[in-house]
Amino acid sequence: MSKVTRRNFLKCSTAAGATALICGTAATRRVLGANDRLRIAVVGINGRGSGHIGGYVDQPNVEIAYLVDPDQNVLDRRLKALEEKVQGRFTCQGVTDVRKALEDKNLDAISVAAPNHWHSLMTIWGAQAGKHVYVEKPMSHDIAEGRVAWEAQKKYKVVVQHGTQSRSSASNAGLHQAIHEGKFGKLKISYGYACKARNGIGFKEPSDPPSNLDWNLWRGPAVIDQFHGNLVHYNWHWFWATGNGELNNQGTHQLDMAFWALDPEVTHPLRAMAIGGRFQWNDQGETPNTLFGIAEYPNGQYVFFNVRNVNYKGYESQVENEYYFEDGGKIVRGQYYAKGSDKGEKVSVPAGKVTPGGNFGSFIAACRAGDPEMANGTAAQAHHSCALGHVINNSYRLGKKVPFNAKAGRFGDNATAYEHFMKLHALMRDGVGVPEDNAEYVVGPWLTFDGQTERFTGEFAAEANKLVKDANRPGFEVPAADKV
């Protein structure tokens, strides 16, 4: 087994700065005892990364060995705050390139909170370097790279934990176990909502990147020619080259919950479609602020999903999951309603099995044990729940514009889907004030998906398969699954 050093780490790369491939069949990593200090690098520290720092800094016998960010100002600020917090308990280095941290043979793990377009490649690089990986949601920016990240986890036998905190909840685990066991009957529809009030982002003209930002490293694998101020540091979520819209932003949590409730043997949807739009804002963003998605699985179960980000008077935030059963029963906001009843009863189920410690404590425990199955949100689970969002998004991206009215919903004979779409439509019409027949929906086609090959088939396969794998910039290529 090859020892990981700077020389052989870069020697196995295709070029300076290229995708790193560790020589040999498995990466070398330190074997941790129960009392050994765990050394972690937190990567991407402006937004969610600050939560990662807070999640690790007071954990027993854990050292934040590196902070990594391409923005020097952010890096300096976070380093100063961390030094004041730890008061010499450990020393942390600041670097702009994650590969410098990965060269450290005594580093045990990386915790990734960079933008979405970096998540899979950093997970792959981390696994290849023998480091455990905590990766923010979504683990993947597209379907293909999610599979590669999972293959890297399996090959190098590292822990990969997905940043879907709901997986660390014993009550969530107990609920889904009860659903799988048929306590409420056969599940028919697993429904997620990511409805948070947001505002438009306006327009930012192309410009030179600020001097404090390493633009090459910020872009990494994303093919982006020109900097503009709406990319850094948060609004990259609303551009396809870097983000995935709300569906695989906040929605990743609720997508994962929705997928978790399905029969455990299912993996990918058989087909999916989406309808929505970017209403009212008239801004630079590309992703929808309103969306209704539907995915059908081979066993006949469905996932419905609702995104509604446009603010209005009386707006009701909904970041939650609902469950509908074949016998007409449903679980809504923690209450079970029998068929035809408007009186709910509180759902009470035994706690399920999770690795304790919350999302960061459980990751540390899994790293110490060297057991990938201890992760609350494994690479396999992450790949399948993220791919669900990608398939729905891909339908939207291939959609055609039609008049904004009730006729836009095309769900065949699925009356339940139409009913839920009409609830969203009414809110947009009456709450937001989108005028019928004077605005447009984007209606995506039904896409059929082969879960074995992870490729689209059928009428729109050629267009949809172009979206399975994003192009990457030279030096930051995601390898093929069989080359990881």
- Containing 345, the helix (H) or strand (E) segment is strand 345-346
pLDDT bucket at 18, cuts 50 / 70 / 90: very low
Can you spell out the DSSP letters for 15-35?
STTS----SSSS---PPPPTT
Q: Where do we find the tokens 């819209």?
A: 245
**Lookup: tokens for 58:** 């007071």
Query: In whole angstroms, what is the distance from residue 135 CA to residue 377 CA?
Result: 10
pTM value is: 0.93
pLDDT bucket at 26, cuts 50 / 70 / 90: low
Do residues 301 and 289 touch, judged by C-beta distance below 8 A?
no
Identify the pLDDT of residue 412. Answer: 82
Strands 302-308 and 290-296, sheet pairing: antiparallel
Residue 478: CB partners within 8 Å, gap ≥ 6? Answer: 19, 120, 121, 124, 144, 145, 148, 221, 469, 472
Identify the pLDDT of residue 6. Answer: 36
Confidence check: pLDDT of 81 > 70: yes
Residue 124: CB partners within 8 Å, gap ≥ 6? Answer: 19, 148, 149, 152, 478, 479, 484
Identify the pLDDT of residue 403. Answer: 96
Identify the pLDDT of residue 34. Answer: 55
Identify the pLDDT of residue 323. Answer: 98
Q: Which structural domains are found in the chain, ordered by start?
A: 168-483 (3.30.360.10)
DSSP structure class, residue 309: -
Confidence check: pLDDT of 13 > 80: no
DSSP structure class, residue 482: G
DSSP structure class, residue 374: G
Identify the pLDDT of residue 378. Answer: 98
Identify the pLDDT of residue 229. Answer: 97
Sheet with strand 62-68: strands edge to edge? 93-95, 62-68, 38-43, 109-112, 132-136, 160-163
Identify the pLDDT of residue 40. Answer: 98
Identify the pLDDT of residue 19. Answer: 38
Identify the pLDDT of residue 27. Answer: 59
Give the model confidence (pLDDT) of 211-240 as tens digits. 999 999 999 999 999 999 999 999 999 999
Residue 106: CB partners within 8 Å, gap ≥ 6? Answer: 30, 39, 65
Q: How many other CB atoms sit within 10 Å of the CB of residue 352? A: 15
Residue 342: CB partners within 8 Å, gap ≥ 6? Answer: none
Give the model confidence (pLDDT) of 264-279 as tens digits. 999 999 999 999 999 9
Confidence check: pLDDT of 55 > 80: yes
Over residues 72-94, the mean pLDDT reads: 97
Low-confidence winner among 17-31, 232-246, 418-432 (lowest mean pLDDT): 17-31
